[in-house]
Amino acid sequence: MVLKGTHKTNLVVLVVLAITGWNNFTTASNPKTPGIDEMVKEQIVPDVIDAAPKAVLDVKYETVEVKLGNVLTPTQVKNPPNITWNADSNKLYLLYMADPDGPTRKDPIFREFIHWLVGNIPGTEISKGKIVAEFLASGPPKGAGLHRYTFLMYEQPNKLKFEEKLMSNRSVEGRGNFIIRNFAKKYNLGEPIAGNFFQAEWDDYVPTIHKYLNITM
Ligand SMILES: *[C@@H]1O[C@H](CO)[C@@H](O)[C@H](O)[C@H]1NC(C)=O
Ligand SMILES: *[C@@H]1O[C@H](CO)[C@@H](O)[C@H](O)[C@H]1NC(C)=O
């Protein structure tokens, strides 16, 4: 078959359309589509979530920024960070920060330890959300190596009424043995829309946090 010029071009366009169309189709139909690579590489997937979010949550402490697994010190991350993401002001969001590596990443008997949990966040205004767990600074035990402090943002399907008791940051009560997968299922949150994480190990600020919490390690 001999194709004339324009037919040839049409054929090329069709083939290109078919290939890109197929790619879109396979992407949309596969819930395990790769998201943030570093969350897979450092095994936040599958330790905490089933699929990595596609968007990076912007997390900034006073002097440092969280960058997909970078190593920060407890001194640098002791106060609540500013968090931004591509939010729709008409929607409600839920923020989760946790450490799945207590007491050590190799032997995580505490499962996920909640550091921060805020729901019903209107748009990006975390301060207007409903606190379930107050922000608690990161204090990994001495000699326990690096812990992965993980941030996840969920988009809520509707306004929620949380059954969980408020967790104060004057104590660690209720914070261990948490599983965000179960919580997300219970409140119909789906998979997170954005995420980020840093890693940290003990430094000499940790005893101050533990003293404040009345815990000995
Ligand atoms: C968060 O943002 C506010 C307003 O821009 C700023 O005043 C504050 O210092 C920031 N805090 C941190 C931890 O970056
Ligand atoms: C404890 O939680 C409150 C309320 O969320 C917060 O303002 C404060 O910074 C937290 N304190 C510490 C030491 O992190």
- Give the pLDDT confidence of 98-116 residue by residue, as tens digits: 999 999 999 998 899 999 9
Has residue 176 got a pLDDT over 70? yes
| In contact, 112 and 124? CB cutoff 8 Å | no
**pLDDT, tens digit, 9 for 90 and up, residues 54-86:** 999 999 999 999 999 999 999 999 999 999 999
Measured by CA distance, the residue closest to atom 4 of ligand 1 is 82
Closest-approaching ligand to the CA atom of 170:
2
Classify 194 in phi/psi space as left (phi over 0), alpha (psi -120 to 50) or beta.
beta
Q: What is the mean pLDDT of residues 196-211?
A: 96
Q: Which atom of ligand 2 is nearest to the CA of 80?
A: 9
Q: How many CB atoms lie within 10 A of CB 13?
A: 10
pLDDT of residue 122: 98
| In contact, 120 and 113? CB cutoff 8 Å | no
Task: Give the confidence band of 33 by pLDDT, cuts at 50, 70, 90.
Answer: low
Closest-approaching ligand to the CA atom of 205:
2
Has residue 16 got a pLDDT over 50? no
Ligand 2: does its nearest atom lie under 6 Å from the Cβ of 171?
no
Has residue 203 got a pLDDT over 80? yes
Place of tokens 């998201």: 35
Measured by CA distance, the residue closest to atom 6 of ligand 2 is 135
64 CA from centroid of ligand 1 (Å): 12
Ligand 2: does its nearest atom lie under 6 Å from the Cβ of 169?
yes
Q: Which atom of ligand 2 is nearest to the CA of 136?
A: 14
Q: What is the mean pLDDT of residues 176-205?
A: 97
Closest CA to 149 of 117, 204, 112: 112
Of residues 168 and 32, more confidence is placed in 168
Supply the mean pLDDT for the chain: 88
109 CA from centroid of ligand 2 (Å): 26
Instruction: Report how far residue 113's alpha carbon sits from residue 174's, in angstroms, rounded to the nearest whole number.
Output: 9
Measured by CA distance, the residue closest to atom 3 of ligand 2 is 134
Of residues 15 and 200, more confidence is placed in 200
Length of the chain: 217
33 token code pair: 């589509």
**Mutation probe of ligand 2 site: the residue of 125, 135, 138 with most atoms within 8 A of C-beta:** 135
Instruction: Report how far residue 76's alpha carbon sits from residue 135's, in angstroms, rounded to the nearest whole number.
Output: 15
